[in-house]
């Protein structure tokens, strides 16, 4: 037996699960082995994640017994929390994949419009839309960083009120310090009968995050409800860091509601 034949047999036995197109100098083709049976453990259906919970104890109970998550004798209130994965599931509905907006702008809530930067910079279009307030969620001069260079004077002749938020679209940017200011700006605009355009570069991440925060702070939505409300009218893709900050806001608001009820 030649060395070539010996090597060919060795490779044929060791890798007979694959289609071998070249083995040494002799091309060979091997039949694939019958697939392994599909056991149920290998194809589990996706199950829903259990809701995370936090527990609140009365001051008296905290003085008597240190809080213990395993203690059943302590009275406790369970409040469902949200995770970025929960929000991503909503964002990717119904196909399970991300989607991009098909329009430059969309009304995502009564009187609130999400748009890209070109729409926000066309003042004649804004006047036709009846926009009275503009919230730039990407204010800044560095275009290469995804910022949009507008300021109050940019809209002076159009009579449009302006608020700028210098946010970068990355997972480490802390956008939550601007939640309250942006929500108040939007709320006051709607109370005065105006219409608000909220935009960033593409109108899918920073601006969408601020609109969701407004719905949570001023309209009592949960994070899931806010994202679903916006997503119903426009495809959005907030980054994971922004989703985490919306979840943190959701948990903070839930704690406040529960503590007020106790």
pLDDT at 163: 98
Report percent pLDDT > 90 for the chain.
Answer: 65
Q: Do strands 79-80 and 53-54 pair parallel, antiparallel, or not at all (unpaired)?
A: antiparallel
Number of Cβ within a 10 Å radius of residue 83? 16
Q: What is the spatial distance between Cα 152 and Cα 250, in angstroms, rounded to a whole number?
A: 31
pLDDT in tens, 109-127: 999 999 999 999 999 999 9
Q: Is residue 255 very low, low, confident or very high in pLDDT (cuts 50, 70, 90)? A: confident
Burial of 259: CB neighbours in 10 Å, binned 0-12, 13-18, 19+: exposed
pTM greater than the 0.75 cutoff = no
Residues with catalytic roles: 200
Q: Is the pLDDT of residue 223 over 90?
A: yes
User: Helices in 26-116 by DSSP H: which ranges?
Assistant: 59-64, 84-91
Token pair listed for 65:
């017994």
pLDDT-derived band at 257 (thresholds 50, 70, 90) equals low
pLDDT of residue 213: 98
**Mean pLDDT across the chain:** 79
Maximum C-alpha span of the chain = 93
């Amino acid at each position: 037996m030649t060395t070539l034949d010996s090597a060919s047999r060795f490779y044929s036995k060791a890798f007979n699960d694959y289609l071998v197109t070249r083995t040494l100098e002799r091309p060979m083709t091997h039949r694939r082995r019958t697939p392994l049976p599909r056991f149920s453990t290998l194809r589990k259906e996706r199950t829903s994640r259990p809701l995370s919970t936090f527990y609140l104890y009365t001051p008296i109970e905290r003085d008597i017994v240190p809080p213990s998550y395993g203690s059943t004798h302590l009275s406790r209130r369970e409040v469902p929390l949200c995770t970025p994965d929960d929000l991503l599931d909503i964002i990717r509905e119904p196909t399970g994949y991300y989607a991009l907006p098909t329009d430059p702008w969309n009304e995502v809530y009564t009187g609130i419009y999400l748009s890209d930067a070109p729409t926000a910079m066309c003042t004649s279009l804004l006047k036709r839309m009846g926009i009275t307030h503009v919230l730039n969620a990407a204010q800044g001069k560095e275009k290469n960083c995804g910022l949009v260079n507008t300021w109050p004077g940019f809209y002076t002749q159009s009579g449009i009120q302006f608020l700028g938020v210098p946010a970068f679209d990355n997972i480490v940017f802390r956008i939550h310090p601007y939640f309250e200011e942006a929500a108040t700006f939007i709320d006051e605009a709607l109370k005065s009968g105006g219409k608000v355009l909220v935009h960033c570069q593409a109108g899918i991440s920073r601006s969408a995050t601020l609109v969701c925060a407004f719905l949570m702070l001023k309209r009592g939505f949960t994070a899931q409800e806010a994202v679903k409300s916006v997503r119903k009218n426009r495809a959005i893709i907030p980054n994971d860091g922004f989703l985490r900050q919306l979840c943190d806001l959701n948990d903070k608001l839930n704690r406040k509601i529960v503590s007020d009820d106790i």
